[in-house]
Structure 1
């Protein structure tokens, strides 16, 4: 392999890794409700915080914008998405269509290892609740739904669920319905139990009721969009 090619590959891998790392840091901050809907993500400040170029930050923001997690406005910059009431309804409508399909595929491809993964996740949720770690509870509650999709083995479904769960998280934050209360752990356990018994009908029924409970808890509450980015990512 030419020396130039050998040098290019590690550089490209490192660049992609850095973009992925920054993306995941922002993703986690939103999922844990540390970044508010409407928060401005200034390129210069973000570049300084992460120690990268503004071009690198623009690449991350473009990826987040493609997933509708960030909104880009000409001459104004990038902001964490602030779903409207109509968009929130669209997200839950999409989840009601997708998540039953996820459960059906999961049941059809079920293994002992997959059930163990789900039960391990529930234990992490329970432990976070016992410790009173609200951020971990919020993050794990959202990740439960993406884990179901990942274990179902369909990459397109998993990607869609990841985006929908993030938009749900923003909606919950915006309308002031804490995930720790609205995404109830007992319902997660009931879903796993139904899947373990390969009872598709019951699993789907509980999931739809679960989504109804989350959506039903939403209450309109405006956010001012202000946040200390340095404290969030350097703290």
Structure 2
């Protein structure tokens, strides 16, 4: 039954977007990642300090045939850098040996969404939907405890943070016309992991990637595919 319903919905979307306007966009901007560690503070002291980072993305959207002409569906592929400093103290025996490591992660995110657009000529834009992220590579640099000694380290893809995980994303923005079929959208976006990244840090420290905060702009182009006149 679920497959039948999904099939019907897909057909309705295809029918409603035939000969509809399409939109392609390139964007880039700012990213900050907020982490949380679940270890008890009375026994361990841990903190994540986020670093400012950046992202680039490409999106494809298509208008949906509704009465007000204010709906789109789309997909986005995004590359972003997540950067944070992890500080750790073990307080169980009263004598602390602190350690700290900076992590820089290169991540690919796939995001699919419906989009609501309101206003003219400056328009309010809102979208939300599921996203999936994969850690392409990671770099760790700092101080690690090895046999109760502070040891400087610099490692690539060391297994501390890795994997594929899913989440949800919402975007709020303003759309501004530029020239003819070109326009710009400025977005404020939030993505939250519904599952944690894998790796040694997640198992030992019970950390969670709580939230990514994005501020970015996209340059968009509007066009109608297969726009041909049929002669009878």
TM-score using structure 2 length: 0.25
Larger helix proportion of the pair: 1
TM-score using structure 1 length: 0.25
**Max Rg structure:** 2
